[in-house]
Amino acid sequence: MQDYRWVVKEPGNMDSIIKENINIKPPAPHEIQVRNHAVGVNYIDTYVISGEYNIDPYPLTPGVEGAGVITQIGDEIKDFEVGDRVGYGGPPLGAYSSIRNMWPGYLVNIPDSLPFEDAAAIMIGGLTAQMMVKKVYPVKKGTKVLVHAAAGSSGDSLVRWCKSLGATVFGTVGSSEKIIIAKNAGCDHVINYKEQNFADKILEINSGVGIDVVYDGIGKDTYEDSFKALKPTGMFVTFGQTSGPLPPIDLSIVPVTFSNFIARPSVFAFNADRETFLQSMDDVFQMIDANNINPKPGSVYNLNEAPRALKDLMNRKTTGSVIFNL
């Protein structure tokens, strides 16, 4: 079987990525070689391809999330063995490949009970949800939460994690078809933000009182009304920009008497050291084991279909986590 990867020679649209055959070299002393069985697809991948996020010099191979089996280890590697089932969710780029050599800082052994497809689907989404509800704004029983894009990958995990902690969860979606998905995830109230003003609806449902925290993975289309939905001292958390980048925020839209907080967290910053990353992943695996979050991918493509999958993701044709299988 010929190994291959997808390469971005220079920034462009989703059809600009090129499939190329590879003959992989042995890993460097500090690296591990992983044969991917599944690869996670994230919206940030589209930014890397388009050049909106110029993280690494071009040419590059996109992707930061996947799962597979270790085929070789470098001489300096002590914590892993050939044959280990592993997942990864973090830099370096390079996941859009059948096999890769990588630094193991964001690599973790996955439970035998967790299929590769599920592991690839939950690494970033699970880490994001864990960061949001335990570190950025600690959620507890009675917390009122708004999760934008509640039928998406991170949204689904956020909704389920918040519900397991006893929160009341409002969710927004962009189509009537996704209302059912968000309700199945556990949302107490689901609002199609393209058909009605979600802030007005939340205040109506909540007897005129704002909510504690907004988790916003949409960006441009939702941020301004998100502040209207918050209570005094509530927090607006932005972690994605699927509708476009946030414009410069005019703080005059926030009433001075409300004293709201704004956070823009990075899952990689919150898991910058290996010990913290492993603790976070242990939380995620425990939540999966307790059936509190659902690792199953919502949309599955073959890695050969990378351009189509990315265009479907951008055009909101996917639901839940999106993965490539191999």
**CATH code at 183?**
3.40.50.720
Q: For the domain that residue 103 is a member of, what is the CATH number?
A: 3.90.180.10
List residues bridging with 260 in a β-sheet.
Answer: none
| Residue-number span of the structural domain to which 28 is assigned | 3-114+295-325
Report whether 277 contacts 90 (CB < 8 A). yes
Instruction: State whether 108 and 159 are in the same domain.
Output: no
**188 and 78 within one domain:** no
DSSP line for 3-42: EEEEEBSSS--GGG-EEEEE-PPPPPTT-EEEEEEEEEE-
For residue 246, the model assigns a pLDDT of 66
Whether residue 254 contacts residue 227, with contact meaning beta carbons closer than 8 Å, is answered with: yes
Closest CA to 193 of 222, 153, 158: 222
What is the residue-level pLDDT of the chain in tens, covering all 326 positions?
899 999 999 999 999 999 999 999 999 999 999 999 999 999 889 989 998 877 778 999 999 999 999 999 999 999 999 999 999 999 899 999 999 999 999 999 999 999 999 999 999 999 999 999 999 999 999 999 999 999 888 899 999 999 999 999 999 998 888 999 999 999 999 999 889 999 999 999 999 999 999 999 877 677 788 989 999 999 999 887 765 666 677 777 666 657 788 888 999 999 999 999 999 999 999 999 999 999 999 999 999 999 999 999 998 888 889 999 99
**Same structural domain, 176 and 249:** yes
The reply to whether 299 falls in a domain is yes
The whole-model pTM stands at: 0.90
Number of domains in the chain: 2
The DSSP secondary-structure symbol of 132 reads I
Decide: 102 and 94 in contact? Cβ < 8 Å.
yes
Q: Length of the chain, please?
A: 326
| Beta-ladder partners of 262 | 236
Residues 261, 142 share a domain = yes
- Name every residue whose Cβ is closer than 8 Å to that of residue 306 and which is 6 or more positions away in sequence: 6, 17, 19, 96, 324
